[in-house]
Structure 1
Protein backbone atom coordinates (compact mmCIF):
# COMPACT_ATOMS: atom_id res chain seq x y z
CA UNK A 1 0.00 0.00 0.00
CA UNK A 2 1.40 3.35 -1.00
CA UNK A 3 1.70 6.17 1.51
CA UNK A 4 1.27 9.48 -0.26
CA UNK A 5 2.18 12.85 1.22
CA UNK A 6 1.85 16.24 -0.42
CA UNK A 7 3.53 19.21 1.23
CA UNK A 8 2.90 22.76 -0.03
CA UNK A 9 5.08 25.49 1.41
CA UNK A 10 5.20 29.23 0.85
CA UNK A 11 8.78 30.45 1.26
CA UNK A 12 7.94 34.17 1.41
CA UNK A 13 4.46 35.57 2.00
CA UNK A 14 3.44 39.17 1.36
CA UNK A 15 0.39 40.90 2.76
CA UNK A 16 -1.34 44.14 1.85
CA UNK A 17 -4.42 45.67 3.37
CA UNK A 18 -6.06 48.24 5.53
CA UNK A 19 -7.61 48.14 9.02
CA UNK A 20 -11.26 47.00 9.02
CA UNK A 21 -12.67 50.30 10.34
CA UNK A 22 -10.88 52.31 7.65
CA UNK A 23 -12.16 49.91 4.97
CA UNK A 24 -15.76 50.25 6.24
CA UNK A 25 -15.45 54.06 6.30
CA UNK A 26 -14.15 54.07 2.72
CA UNK A 27 -17.04 51.83 1.60
CA UNK A 28 -19.61 54.04 3.34
CA UNK A 29 -18.09 57.14 1.73
CA UNK A 30 -18.17 55.45 -1.69
CA UNK A 31 -21.81 54.36 -1.16
CA UNK A 32 -22.76 57.91 -0.14
CA UNK A 33 -21.18 59.62 -3.14
CA UNK A 34 -23.69 60.76 -5.75
CA UNK A 35 -21.94 59.03 -8.68
CA UNK A 36 -21.50 55.63 -6.99
CA UNK A 37 -24.42 55.33 -4.53
CA UNK A 38 -26.49 53.46 -7.14
CA UNK A 39 -24.08 50.49 -6.94
CA UNK A 40 -24.82 50.01 -3.24
CA UNK A 41 -28.54 49.33 -3.69
CA UNK A 42 -29.85 45.79 -4.22
CA UNK A 43 -31.91 46.35 -7.42
CA UNK A 44 -29.12 48.15 -9.27
CA UNK A 45 -26.38 45.75 -8.18
CA UNK A 46 -28.64 42.80 -9.01
CA UNK A 47 -29.03 43.92 -12.64
CA UNK A 48 -25.27 44.34 -12.97
CA UNK A 49 -24.66 40.85 -11.52
CA UNK A 50 -27.37 39.36 -13.74
CA UNK A 51 -25.49 40.61 -16.81
CA UNK A 52 -22.08 39.55 -15.55
CA UNK A 53 -22.86 36.30 -13.69
CA UNK A 54 -26.30 34.80 -14.33
CA UNK A 55 -29.85 35.99 -15.08
CA UNK A 56 -31.02 33.65 -12.27
CA UNK A 57 -30.06 36.44 -9.84
CA UNK A 58 -33.25 38.23 -10.97
CA UNK A 59 -35.50 35.23 -10.16
CA UNK A 60 -38.39 35.98 -7.80
CA UNK A 61 -40.70 33.84 -5.71
CA UNK A 62 -43.71 35.33 -3.91
CA UNK A 63 -42.59 38.79 -5.03
CA UNK A 64 -39.13 38.46 -3.40
CA UNK A 65 -35.77 37.66 -4.94
CA UNK A 66 -34.66 34.06 -4.40
CA UNK A 67 -30.98 35.00 -4.20
CA UNK A 68 -29.62 37.28 -1.50
CA UNK A 69 -26.71 39.53 -2.50
CA UNK A 70 -23.81 40.34 -0.23
CA UNK A 71 -21.01 42.82 -0.62
CA UNK A 72 -17.71 41.29 0.36
CA UNK A 73 -15.15 43.93 1.24
CA UNK A 74 -11.68 42.41 0.99
CA UNK A 75 -9.48 44.44 3.31
CA UNK A 76 -6.36 42.22 3.38
CA UNK A 77 -4.77 39.84 0.85
CA UNK A 78 -2.03 37.28 1.36
CA UNK A 79 0.23 36.64 -1.63
CA UNK A 80 3.36 34.81 -2.69
CA UNK A 81 5.60 34.76 -5.72
CA UNK A 82 6.65 31.13 -5.27
CA UNK A 83 5.10 27.82 -4.20
CA UNK A 84 7.19 24.80 -3.27
CA UNK A 85 5.36 21.48 -3.63
CA UNK A 86 6.79 18.13 -2.60
CA UNK A 87 4.95 14.89 -3.36
CA UNK A 88 6.24 11.70 -1.76
CA UNK A 89 5.09 8.12 -2.29
CA UNK A 90 6.50 5.56 0.13
CA UNK A 91 6.27 1.94 -0.99
CA UNK A 92 8.17 0.38 1.92
CA UNK A 93 5.03 -1.39 3.19
CA UNK A 94 4.70 -3.30 -0.09
CA UNK A 95 8.43 -4.06 -0.27
CA UNK A 96 8.48 -5.36 3.32
CA UNK A 97 5.70 -7.78 2.40
CA UNK A 98 7.61 -9.04 -0.66
CA UNK A 99 5.60 -7.15 -3.25
CA UNK A 100 7.24 -5.57 -6.28
CA UNK A 101 6.43 -1.92 -7.11
CA UNK A 102 4.06 -1.48 -10.05
CA UNK A 103 5.85 -1.71 -13.38
CA UNK A 104 9.03 -3.22 -11.88
CA UNK A 105 10.29 -6.68 -12.79
CA UNK A 106 13.02 -6.67 -10.11
CA UNK A 107 12.66 -8.47 -6.80
CA UNK A 108 12.57 -6.31 -3.64
CA UNK A 109 16.22 -7.03 -2.77
CA UNK A 110 17.28 -5.92 -6.28
CA UNK A 111 15.67 -2.45 -6.08
CA UNK A 112 18.10 0.35 -6.81
CA UNK A 113 17.21 4.04 -6.77
CA UNK A 114 17.53 6.38 -9.70
CA UNK A 115 17.50 10.15 -9.59
CA UNK A 116 16.79 12.84 -12.13
CA UNK A 117 16.65 16.60 -11.92
CA UNK A 118 14.83 18.96 -14.25
CA UNK A 119 15.09 22.73 -14.36
CA UNK A 120 12.77 24.40 -16.89
CA UNK A 121 12.34 28.20 -16.84
CA UNK A 122 10.76 29.08 -13.49
CA UNK A 123 9.87 25.50 -12.54
CA UNK A 124 12.38 23.06 -11.16
CA UNK A 125 11.68 19.46 -10.27
CA UNK A 126 13.63 16.53 -8.89
CA UNK A 127 12.63 12.88 -8.99
CA UNK A 128 13.99 9.76 -7.32
CA UNK A 129 12.85 6.16 -7.56
CA UNK A 130 13.48 3.22 -5.26
CA UNK A 131 11.75 2.68 -1.94
CA UNK A 132 10.48 6.23 -2.07
CA UNK A 133 9.38 8.37 -4.98
CA UNK A 134 9.69 12.09 -4.40
CA UNK A 135 8.83 14.92 -6.79
CA UNK A 136 9.67 18.48 -5.80
CA UNK A 137 8.60 21.54 -7.76
CA UNK A 138 9.44 25.16 -7.11
CA UNK A 139 7.05 27.28 -9.15
CA UNK A 140 7.93 30.97 -9.43
CA UNK A 141 5.24 33.35 -10.65
CA UNK A 142 5.83 36.57 -12.63
CA UNK A 143 3.04 38.26 -10.63
CA UNK A 144 1.97 37.66 -7.04
CA UNK A 145 -0.40 34.73 -6.47
CA UNK A 146 -3.15 35.40 -3.91
CA UNK A 147 -3.62 32.42 -1.61
CA UNK A 148 -5.85 33.96 1.03
CA UNK A 149 -7.76 37.04 2.11
CA UNK A 150 -9.54 38.65 5.04
CA UNK A 151 -12.92 40.24 4.39
CA UNK A 152 -16.03 41.79 5.84
CA UNK A 153 -19.42 41.03 4.27
CA UNK A 154 -22.66 43.01 4.21
CA UNK A 155 -26.12 42.20 2.89
CA UNK A 156 -27.19 44.78 0.34
CA UNK A 157 -30.20 46.74 1.53
CA UNK A 158 -33.34 46.61 -0.59
CA UNK A 159 -34.20 49.59 -2.73
CA UNK A 160 -35.79 52.31 -0.57
CA UNK A 161 -39.55 52.66 -1.11
CA UNK A 162 -40.60 56.00 -2.55
CA UNK A 163 -42.24 58.34 -0.04
Structure 2
Protein backbone atom coordinates (compact mmCIF):
# COMPACT_ATOMS: atom_id res chain seq x y z
CA UNK A 1 0.00 0.00 0.00
CA UNK A 2 1.17 3.49 -0.85
CA UNK A 3 -0.63 6.44 0.74
CA UNK A 4 -3.13 3.99 2.25
CA UNK A 5 -4.30 2.76 -1.17
CA UNK A 6 -3.61 -0.75 -2.51
CA UNK A 7 -1.43 -0.88 -5.61
CA UNK A 8 -1.01 -3.61 -8.17
CA UNK A 9 1.66 -6.11 -7.18
CA UNK A 10 0.97 -8.82 -9.79
CA UNK A 11 0.83 -8.56 -13.55
CA UNK A 12 0.61 -10.53 -16.77
CA UNK A 13 3.60 -10.17 -19.07
CA UNK A 14 1.51 -11.13 -22.11
CA UNK A 15 -1.50 -8.81 -21.84
CA UNK A 16 -0.18 -6.26 -19.34
CA UNK A 17 -3.10 -6.65 -16.90
CA UNK A 18 -2.06 -5.74 -13.34
CA UNK A 19 -3.79 -6.51 -10.03
CA UNK A 20 -3.47 -6.87 -6.30
CA UNK A 21 -5.57 -9.11 -4.08
CA UNK A 22 -7.08 -6.03 -2.41
CA UNK A 23 -8.39 -4.81 -5.79
CA UNK A 24 -9.78 -8.15 -6.96
CA UNK A 25 -13.55 -8.56 -7.18
CA UNK A 26 -15.26 -10.85 -4.66
CA UNK A 27 -15.80 -13.41 -7.44
CA UNK A 28 -12.05 -14.15 -7.29
CA UNK A 29 -12.33 -15.60 -3.77
CA UNK A 30 -12.19 -19.41 -4.05
CA UNK A 31 -12.21 -20.40 -0.38
CA UNK A 32 -12.72 -18.95 3.09
CA UNK A 33 -11.20 -20.82 6.01
CA UNK A 34 -12.22 -19.57 9.45
CA UNK A 35 -10.59 -21.27 12.45
CA UNK A 36 -11.76 -20.54 15.98
CA UNK A 37 -9.72 -21.76 18.98
CA UNK A 38 -10.69 -21.75 22.67
CA UNK A 39 -8.38 -19.76 24.94
CA UNK A 40 -8.35 -19.55 28.67
CA UNK A 41 -8.83 -21.91 31.57
CA UNK A 42 -8.47 -25.28 29.88
CA UNK A 43 -5.60 -27.67 29.36
CA UNK A 44 -4.17 -28.21 25.91
CA UNK A 45 -5.74 -31.68 25.84
CA UNK A 46 -9.25 -30.26 26.37
CA UNK A 47 -8.92 -27.18 24.20
CA UNK A 48 -11.48 -27.19 21.40
CA UNK A 49 -11.20 -25.64 17.97
CA UNK A 50 -13.53 -25.38 15.01
CA UNK A 51 -12.62 -24.93 11.37
CA UNK A 52 -15.11 -23.66 8.82
CA UNK A 53 -14.48 -23.92 5.11
CA UNK A 54 -16.76 -21.94 2.84
CA UNK A 55 -16.76 -22.26 -0.95
CA UNK A 56 -18.38 -20.07 -3.65
CA UNK A 57 -20.64 -22.94 -4.79
CA UNK A 58 -22.38 -22.90 -1.37
CA UNK A 59 -20.57 -25.84 0.24
CA UNK A 60 -19.87 -25.17 3.91
CA UNK A 61 -17.95 -27.54 6.16
CA UNK A 62 -17.44 -27.54 9.91
CA UNK A 63 -14.64 -29.56 11.55
CA UNK A 64 -14.40 -29.92 15.34
CA UNK A 65 -11.04 -30.72 16.93
CA UNK A 66 -10.08 -31.63 20.51
CA UNK A 67 -6.69 -30.76 21.97
CA UNK A 68 -3.66 -30.92 19.72
CA UNK A 69 -5.06 -33.78 17.66
CA UNK A 70 -4.76 -33.10 13.92
CA UNK A 71 -7.63 -35.49 13.15
CA UNK A 72 -11.06 -33.93 13.46
CA UNK A 73 -13.59 -35.44 15.88
CA UNK A 74 -16.70 -34.33 14.04
CA UNK A 75 -17.41 -33.12 10.55
CA UNK A 76 -20.61 -31.51 9.31
CA UNK A 77 -21.40 -30.40 5.76
CA UNK A 78 -24.17 -28.06 4.69
CA UNK A 79 -25.15 -26.51 1.40
CA UNK A 80 -26.38 -22.91 1.19
CA UNK A 81 -27.24 -20.74 -1.76
CA UNK A 82 -24.40 -19.32 -3.84
CA UNK A 83 -26.03 -15.92 -3.35
CA UNK A 84 -25.63 -16.18 0.46
CA UNK A 85 -21.92 -17.01 0.09
CA UNK A 86 -21.50 -14.23 -2.47
CA UNK A 87 -22.92 -11.68 -0.01
CA UNK A 88 -20.41 -12.92 2.59
CA UNK A 89 -17.39 -12.68 0.26
CA UNK A 90 -18.52 -9.24 -0.93
CA UNK A 91 -18.66 -7.93 2.63
CA UNK A 92 -15.19 -9.35 3.41
CA UNK A 93 -13.58 -8.14 0.17
CA UNK A 94 -15.12 -4.68 0.61
CA UNK A 95 -13.29 -4.31 3.92
CA UNK A 96 -10.03 -5.81 2.64
CA UNK A 97 -9.98 -3.64 -0.50
CA UNK A 98 -10.92 -0.36 1.19
CA UNK A 99 -8.32 2.40 1.61
CA UNK A 100 -6.88 2.51 5.12
CA UNK A 101 -8.92 5.57 6.11
CA UNK A 102 -12.19 3.82 5.10
CA UNK A 103 -11.59 0.33 6.52
CA UNK A 104 -13.37 0.91 9.86
CA UNK A 105 -12.06 -2.40 11.19
CA UNK A 106 -12.90 -3.01 14.83
CA UNK A 107 -10.62 -5.44 16.67
CA UNK A 108 -11.91 -6.95 19.89
CA UNK A 109 -9.42 -8.25 22.44
CA UNK A 110 -10.04 -10.77 25.19
CA UNK A 111 -7.85 -12.79 27.55
CA UNK A 112 -10.18 -15.78 27.79
CA UNK A 113 -12.68 -16.78 25.16
CA UNK A 114 -11.73 -17.61 21.58
CA UNK A 115 -9.26 -16.40 19.00
CA UNK A 116 -9.59 -16.74 15.23
CA UNK A 117 -7.53 -17.19 12.09
CA UNK A 118 -9.20 -16.17 8.84
CA UNK A 119 -7.66 -17.24 5.53
CA UNK A 120 -9.15 -15.98 2.28
CA UNK A 121 -7.82 -17.76 -0.80
CA UNK A 122 -7.98 -16.05 -4.19
CA UNK A 123 -8.06 -17.54 -7.68
CA UNK A 124 -4.37 -16.69 -8.18
CA UNK A 125 -3.58 -18.82 -5.05
CA UNK A 126 -2.61 -15.88 -2.85
CA UNK A 127 -4.09 -15.67 0.63
CA UNK A 128 -5.17 -12.89 2.91
CA UNK A 129 -4.59 -13.97 6.53
CA UNK A 130 -6.23 -12.14 9.42
CA UNK A 131 -5.84 -13.08 13.09
CA UNK A 132 -7.70 -11.78 16.10
CA UNK A 133 -9.91 -12.49 19.07
CA UNK A 134 -13.59 -13.36 18.81
CA UNK A 135 -14.95 -10.36 20.70
CA UNK A 136 -17.41 -8.59 18.45
CA UNK A 137 -14.87 -7.14 16.03
CA UNK A 138 -15.50 -6.60 12.32
CA UNK A 139 -14.33 -9.87 10.73
CA UNK A 140 -15.35 -12.16 13.59
CA UNK A 141 -18.85 -10.60 13.77
CA UNK A 142 -19.44 -11.07 10.05
CA UNK A 143 -18.24 -14.68 10.11
CA UNK A 144 -19.95 -15.60 13.39
CA UNK A 145 -23.27 -14.42 12.00
CA UNK A 146 -22.75 -16.51 8.85
CA UNK A 147 -21.57 -19.62 10.75
CA UNK A 148 -24.42 -19.34 13.27
CA UNK A 149 -27.01 -19.16 10.47
CA UNK A 150 -25.74 -22.46 9.07
CA UNK A 151 -24.36 -24.51 11.96
CA UNK A 152 -26.00 -22.77 14.95
CA UNK A 153 -22.69 -22.17 16.74
CA UNK A 154 -21.88 -18.93 18.57
CA UNK A 155 -18.47 -18.08 20.04
CA UNK A 156 -19.23 -14.80 21.82
CA UNK A 157 -21.63 -14.19 24.68
TM-score normalised by the chain length of structure 2: 0.24
Q: Which has the higher contact order (CA 8 A, sep 6+)?
A: 1
Q: Compare CA radii of gyration and give the structure with the larger one.
A: 1
TM-score normalised by the chain length of structure 1: 0.23
Determine which structure has the larger strand proportion and give its number: 1
